[in-house]
Amino acid sequence: MSGMDIECSICNGKADALFKRIEVWSNGRWRLTTTTYRAVKGLCYLEPVRHIRYITEIDGQEASEFGPVLSSAASALKAATGAEFIYVYIYGGHIPHLHVHLAPHREGDVFYDDLVKEGIELSEEVMPPLKRLRQFRAVSA
Ligand SMILES: [Zn+2]
């Protein structure tokens, strides 16, 4: 398939073995895997099959499917695990192939929401440049 990077551990399949990932679903453009490697029960990865490095580079059919596929995968994971919430994380610094972490959240697990809790004093310096951010226009289908 075009759009593969043989050096990429997700494209060449080495990430599946390394992180003990098992594919549970694919539509040929997206795939969902789960793992026993991490400390969170039911952690899943959603990623494009095509080598797309970062969320800022997603395009094509993967871009138009991203929202519905993410929502469906999170719903299936919530139902399968009974978790109250599915946390969604995208990092990007470790393996340069877009992969979304879907983490069934349970009280006391390793994932936390301190970043968005009330009562944390932040200075204006943490705000992005609003003038530039307001230039955002969502791509419509
Ligand atoms: Zn890749």
Q: What is the pLDDT of residue 41?
A: 85
**Domain count along the chain:** 1
Residue 22 lies in a domain: yes
Residue 52 lies in a domain: yes
Q: What is the pLDDT of residue 122?
A: 67
- How many whole angstroms separate alpha carbon 115 and alpha carbon 130? 20
Residue 101 lies in a domain: yes
Distance 46 CA to ligand 1 centre (A): 13
- What mean pLDDT do residues 15-31 have? 95
Residue 1 lies in a domain: no
Domain, as residue range, for 54? 14-133
Distance 25 CA to ligand 1 centre (A): 18
- How many whole angstroms separate alpha carbon 127 and alpha carbon 108? 30
Confidence of residue 126 (pLDDT cuts 50, 70, 90): low
Tokens for 54, please give them.
């970062």
Q: What is the pLDDT of residue 76?
A: 96
Q: Which residue has the higher pLDDT, 23 or 115?
A: 23
Q: What is the pLDDT of residues 26-45, one digit of tens each?
A: 999 999 999 987 677 899 99
Distance 57 CA to ligand 1 centre (A): 13
Distance 15 CA to ligand 1 centre (A): 10
Residue 1 has pLDDT above 70, yes or no: no
Are residues 103 and 87 in contact, defined by beta-carbon separation less than 8 angstroms?
yes
Distance 53 CA to ligand 1 centre (A): 7
Are residues 4 and 14 in contact, defined by beta-carbon separation less than 8 angstroms?
no
The three-state secondary structure class of 47 is strand
If you ran DSSP here, which 8-state letter would residue 103 be given?
Answer: E
Distance 3 CA to ligand 1 centre (A): 8
Task: Look up residue 83 and give its amino acid.
Answer: A
Residue 8 lies in a domain: no
Distance 52 CA to ligand 1 centre (A): 6
Residue 76 lies in a domain: yes
- Torsion angle of the four alpha carbons 95, 48, 71, 139, in this order, in degrees rounded to the nearest 10: 100
Residue 68 lies in a domain: yes
Confidence of residue 139 (pLDDT cuts 50, 70, 90): low
Q: What is the pLDDT of residues 84-108, one digit of tens each?
A: 899 999 998 889 999 999 999 988 8
Residue 62 lies in a domain: yes
Please report, for the domain that includes residue 62, its CATH number: 3.30.428.10
Distance 45 CA to ligand 1 centre (A): 13
